[in-house]
Amino acid sequence: MRNTPGGPRAWLRDHPLVPDAALAVVLAASAALYASPLPPAAQGRPGEPGGLGLGLAVAGCLSLTLRRRRPFPMLLLVGLASVATASLGLGALPLWPAALVLVYTVAAHRGLALSLGALAWSLACHVASTAADGGLGDWTVHLLAAVLTVTVWITGRSARLRRAYMAELRDRAERTERAREADTRAARVEERSRIARELHDVVAHHVSVMTVQASAARRVLATNPDGALEALSAIEEMGRTAMAEMRNIVGVLRTDAAPAERNPQPGVGEIPTLVEQMREAGLRTQLWIEGERGALPPGVDLAAYRLVQEALTNSLRHAGPLARAWVTVRHEHGQLAVRVEDDGQGAGGARPGEQTGERTGHGLVGIRERVALYGGVLRIGPRPEGGFEVNARFPLKDV
């Protein structure tokens, strides 16, 4: 019969008292058969000491019923019973199998100190019962008994160590699985955050520019059709650019997308184009690139571009129609400094966004995450002379 969850084997594992009781009955029956008929030394004695010895032997074997719950106390009782039965003329043989079973049980289910005590007690009881039976006899028999007892003890200890080893392997596998699941969840959260930052940067920038251009086209549609047409053309171009960048982002998520379909991510080299787009959208922007440009890590390159893009988008949305913006990109030894400033509503004037929290939305949170990801330092806030600034420094290791 197969070992199914509801099968006999599973039932026996859940009810260990049943097989233990069956083993105890078998050993007790064996002891009774061994002691009948009574040996000549036990016959004719007053009080029938042979019957008393038989009762002790049967009771000692029946104590195996509690071997899993109280193995060491049962071994103590069986050892004393073996000495008593030997003194009454039955010898220690009827209780010897029960003693071996208990030695194995103690070694397999108890600690090392207690199992060593069980081994020593079993050997001592064997010597005492042999002496009480009429002498030590042949030393070869005692040596064989000692070897068998030690072998049973070693078998029990090996079973205990193997169970402990398997339990440790299962526990380690569970810990590894939990750690793997935690790492997977963290990676998914980080990937979702990265995708959210990319989508926000692309959508917020281009939609903001398109909104400004559409507003300008609406205002001049009646008086300056050529200007309105130019604004609509800029909106069309900006929409195409936004769609292209979104396709690039979505293409990264597609497992079947060919590498050739994925265009390179923008970087510091595309900042002049970005500044020109902002000028066309109506934000008067100036750009300074200082220092000797070297090779930048791809992550830092993209983070610097997104920082300038988000900062200029915020200036376009919140600084007002007469605002000016300045972008400074400085290549220094061991670091890249990026600074975006605007004069907002004028010198010393606080714009509504600084009071209502419009400049602390998802875009600026994304900037903080990008800068922190590469170990940079970021300052975002109002300028002393009025306006707003975003100032970041990216460390360049091994560059």
pLDDT in tens, 196-207: 776 766 666 677
The pLDDT value recorded for residue 345 is 66
- Please say whether the beta carbons of 337 and 269 come within 8 A: no
Global confidence as pTM: 0.45
Query: Rounded mean pLDDT of 305-323?
Result: 86
Nearest CA-CA partner of 206 in 247, 234, 248 = 234
The pLDDT value recorded for residue 393 is 93
User: Between residues 236 and 255, which one has the greater pLDDT?
Assistant: 236
pLDDT at residue 285 greater than cutoff 80: yes
Average confidence score pLDDT of the chain? 76
Burial class (CB in 10 A: 0-12, 13-18, 19+), 81: buried
Please give the helix or strand (H or E) that residue 223 lies within, else none.
none
The pLDDT value recorded for residue 55 is 72
- Please say whether the beta carbons of 82 and 60 come within 8 A: yes
pLDDT at residue 259 greater than cutoff 60: no
Q: What is the pLDDT of residues 354-396, one digit of tens each?
A: 433 345 556 677 788 888 888 889 999 898 888 899 999 999 8
Domain ranges of the chain: 8-137, 267-399
SS3 334: coil
- Please say whether the beta carbons of 330 and 337 come within 8 A: yes
Separation CA 20–CA 375 (nearest Å)? 66
Query: Rounded mean pLDDT of 29-47?
Result: 53
Across 171-175, 186-190, 258-262, the highest mean pLDDT is recorded for 171-175
Query: Rounded mean pLDDT of 250-267?
Result: 58
What is the band of 308 on the pLDDT scale with cuts at 50, 70, 90? very high
| CATH class belonging to 267-399 | alpha beta
Separation CA 145–CA 20 (nearest Å)? 24
Tokens of 54: 């038989």
